[in-house]
Amino acid sequence: MIVTIEFLGTQRTLAGADSVEMPITKKSRVSDALEYVIDKYPQLKLDKDTALVVVNQQLASRDQVFKDKDTISFVPFISGG
Amino acid sequence: MEILKQIKYRPARVAGGYTDRLLRIDLTSREINIEKLAPDFKAKYTGGRGYALKLIWEGTTRDTRYDSPENILVMASGPLGNEPGFPGTGKFIVGTISPMTETFIDSNVGGHFGPLLKLAGFDALAVTGISKEEVIVLINGDAGTIAIAEAPRYDRATDDGALSYGDRLLKEVNDGQYSDCLAAVSAGRGALHARYGVTHSLFYDRRRHRIRSKQAGRGGTGTVMRAKKLKSIIVRSSLPKANGNNPVDKKGVRAAGRALKQVISKADPTQLHLSAWGTTILSEYMDKFHIFPVDNYQYGQSPDSSKLFAHVFLDNYFSHRLPDGCYYGCNLACAKGAENVELTRGPGAGRKVSVDGPEYETVGAVCCMGIFDPQYVMEYNWYCDQYGIDVISTGVTIAFFMECFERGYLTAEDTGYELKFGSISAADKCLHEIASGRGLGRVVGQGVARGKKWVAKKYAARNKASEDEVMAELNKFGMEVKGLEFSMYISKESLAQQGGYGFSLKGPQHDEAWLIFIDQVYQEIPTLEDKAAALKWFPLIRTWFNATGLCKLHWIDVRNPEASATPEPSKNLPTLAHYVDYLNATTGSHKSLQDILDDSERLYILQKLINLRQGKGTRSSDQIPLRAMAPAFFNEYQSRAEYYDRWLGQNRGSRKLPASPRQRHKLLIERRKREYQQLCDAVYEQKGFTANGIPRRETVARFGLLDEEARRLLDEMGV
């Protein structure tokens, strides 16, 4: 089973990739993906406590369990001009 | 240059952020007067938008139209504008009675004009009357002169362009040299023909060695300028900009500025990174969450959208490594620009030009016409600027006419050409026609609200149909409220943002409330009560920014890391605390955030009173097109059927969904319409309004606004 981690905006440049795939188990959670990205891509400077994580375009909690082929991304704070 | 009238004056010193002086210029009589403002004026109306509102409330009537001599064009910074020690202090307001909405409009704009106007001795400038000939105004704080002069003529290409004319003028009045002691506002030829002409704010950029422009873009302030036969205003002051406000507490200003700059430099690079990418970075996020206004807001995404993402502009157009602030001291510096862009279309084909932008809104306007060509974005940006027309209203109105053509409401005989989504040649032809007032452009230049009537008449006559019935159909997808076109975000999936657009006093521009992400994505305001409370709080704090001469982006688009530990992270209160400190240190006040919100509410209610007087203030004026709240047509529903069916399922409890997709679409529309009306009720209650959206008498009285005219108005409304 895998999830796809998408890099958006400036993250894409910093990570040097549009997306990466992360193998998961039936027990893998959002927090695992967050730790994976923080470890592999420190240049993104994601904050473990404050990063907003979106799974399949829905805001996800840290303890949400993944399903196979979920898509995960990290969204900055946007509040309009 | 022939001087028609000139006075001498001694510029008032700025103290605690204010000069307490208003410059009044009447172009009919050529009278120039300097008015000393009473001490309670600033206490009650703050500055910027507040000053514009008060002057227009008192100086115009319900019969005043944009081109009436008594209409006032107000330009005002605010007590916090003009401080390089604090980021984002170059903003000023251009306020007037709008050609689009026929009520008060204001647009905030960056650059040096507001700060220099203050250094030249004025908190605000109010222009009335209509000149016999085309004129310019020169405010020279160094020489102590204010003059009305005949507008110089150069060659036709220079004279017609808002950019080229202002650029030439700024050189001419300074012995052929650019200088950052000078700034200008200007309006172009497009503003003579379109209702959505912009006011440019032109300033010298020492790093780029050229004049740059920002725009007061919404609602036709440039059209008002040209209706007054005013082509440009130039202001000059050589006074030092540092500590230019002569704050009461200099150390306090420095400390607040330092604290906010630290937040920006630390947090922005890990968030949107506006300092590197500008606001084009938003395109990708809008597309990701179905908010990109593709094909007149029908679809929130397109497979072609990535052609308009930020990296495309960064890689191919933007000048790299230039801190692009629009005023000194801004470390967010989001005003990106490009040099040597070759025009491939239009009357300037073959020329190489400098482009200020694009901003997200320009990119959104181009995708609204179904176009995904970054080179066209650059050219559209430059031509709109040079003609002096609003990129948003231009794009949205062309997109509306494209959809009318595609749905059969218009024929090629009506338009003169195949006006289809995605056609660069058609969009470009229409753009140049708008600017010159020719062909279909003469109609498109009037905006969506007036365009709907024209289309309805044509279609009804051709098909022997009822004009009212045709209008009802056009109202579903004509993206305007109160006569102003929507800015570039799809609000269908965010009830809070539907309100953000519908209740916005100036019309659907997002600077009053942009709640899409905190509602739709972050889900921080889940209940109707939460949304109603946000629709009161955000417009008030945003009003304050527009009254004080400040840019909002540092607060709203860079989340302070400390905010996550607060009960309402979306308010970004730790950053707002720096603003409160800055205010108190500048003016010597002892205000709390609640005091600021109360000050803003007075201005908000005053604006509401103007809307009521001008016939745009009741519940009916807050209604939004069907497409702003739901998929208006079946094709839109089909494009996200799974999502909409899931939404319906979640909102109907255990009741079964209808079997037919068309029935589900109908049900969705009914549900969304009902929700919007429930939101109206909740928001009016929060704001102290009646169910018809009118402020209760006690609400008006609470802010000291129950003057004779307000009483008469409320009497008429039965409140």
- Give residue-wise pLDDT tens across range B499-509: 999 999 999 99
Average pLDDT over residues B173-187: 97
**Chain A residues with beta carbon closer than 8 angstroms to that of B511:** 80-81
Q: Which residues of B touch A15 (CB under 8 A)?
A: none
| Rounded Cα–Cα distance for residues B395 and B430 (Å) | 10
Q: Model pTM?
A: 0.97
State the pLDDT confidence band at A15, using cuts at 50, 70 and 90: very high
B521 in A contact zone (CB under 8 Å): yes
Q: Measuring CA to CA, which residue among B359, B684, B299 is closest to residue B502?
A: B684
What is the count of residue pairs from A and B with beta carbons less than 8 Å apart? 82
Query: What is the CB neighbour count within 10 angstroms for residue B221?
Result: 32
Q: Give B665-718 pLDDT, tens digit per residue.
A: 999 999 999 999 999 999 999 999 999 999 999 999 999 999 999 999 999 999
pLDDT of residue B511: 87
pLDDT higher than 80, residue B321: no
Q: Hunting for tokens 């967010």 — which residue is that? A: B332
Helices (H) and strands (E) in chain A, counts: 2, 5
Does B363 contact chain A (CB < 8 Å)?
no
Handedness of CA B140, B141, B142, B145 (dihedral sign): positive
pLDDT of residue B253: 98
Residue B456, pLDDT > 90, answer: yes
- pLDDT, one tens digit per residue, over A20-32 is 999 999 999 999 9
Cα(B452)–Cα(B470) distance, integer angstroms: 9
Evaluate if residue A50 carries a pLDDT over 80: no
- Whether residues B510 and A80 touch (CB distance < 8 A) is answered with yes
**3-state secondary structure labels for all residues of B48-83:** CHHHHHHHHHHHCCCCCCCCCCCCCEEEECCCCCCC
Q: Which residue in chain B is spatially nearest to A49 when comparing CA positions?
A: B564
Residue pLDDT, tens place only, A60-74: 999 999 999 999 999
- The answer to whether ipTM exceeds 0.90 is yes
- The CA distance from A1 to the nearest CA of chain B, in Å, is 24
Answer whether residue B320 shows pLDDT above 90.
no
- pLDDT over 90 at A47, yes or no: no
Reported as type and span, the H/E element at residue B612 is helix B593-613
Q: Are B378 and B183 in contact (CB under 8 A)?
A: no
The letter for the amino acid at B122 is F
Q: What is the largest CA-CA distance in chain A?
A: 41
Under a CB-based contact definition with an 8 Å cutoff, are residues B210 and B203 in contact?
no
User: What percentage of chain B exceeds 70 in pLDDT?
Assistant: 100
Task: Provide the token pair at B176.
Answer: 């052929």
Q: Which pLDDT belongs to residue B324?
A: 86
Q: Which residue of B has its CA nearest to A53?
A: B522
- The DSSP 8-state label assigned to residue B221 in this structure reads H
Mean of per-residue pLDDT scores for chain B: 97
B572 contact residues in A (CB cutoff 8 A): 79
Instruction: State whether B272 and A59 contact (CB < 8 Å).
Output: no
The amino acid sitting at B370 is: G
Amino acid at B254: R
- Residue range A27-45: mean pLDDT, rounded: 93
Beta partners for B135?
B150, B230
- Minimal Cα–Cα distance from B224 to chain A, Å? 25
pLDDT confidence of residue B465: 97
Chain A contact for B360 (CB, 8 A cutoff): yes
Compute the distance between CA of residue B279 and CA of residue B276 in angstroms, rounded to an integer.
9
Q: What is the pLDDT of residues B92-139, one digit of tens each?
A: 999 999 999 999 999 999 999 999 999 999 999 999 999 999 999 999
A2 pLDDT more than 90 = yes
Distance from CA of A19 to the nearest CA of B (A): 14
d(CA A74, CA A54): 6
Burial group, residue B176, by CB count within 10 angstroms (0-12, 13-18, 19+): exposed
CA distance B72 to B499: 29
pLDDT at A46: 87
Kindly report the nearest CA distance between residue A24 and chain B, in angstroms: 24
The residues in B 299-328 lying below 8 A from A, measured between CB atoms, are 310-311
DSSP state of B552: S
| B518 touching A (Cβ < 8 Å) | yes
Q: How confident is the model over B527-546, as a mean pLDDT?
A: 97
What's residue B553's pLDDT?
95
Q: What average pLDDT does this structure show over B452-473?
A: 98
Structure tokens at B529: 């009560």
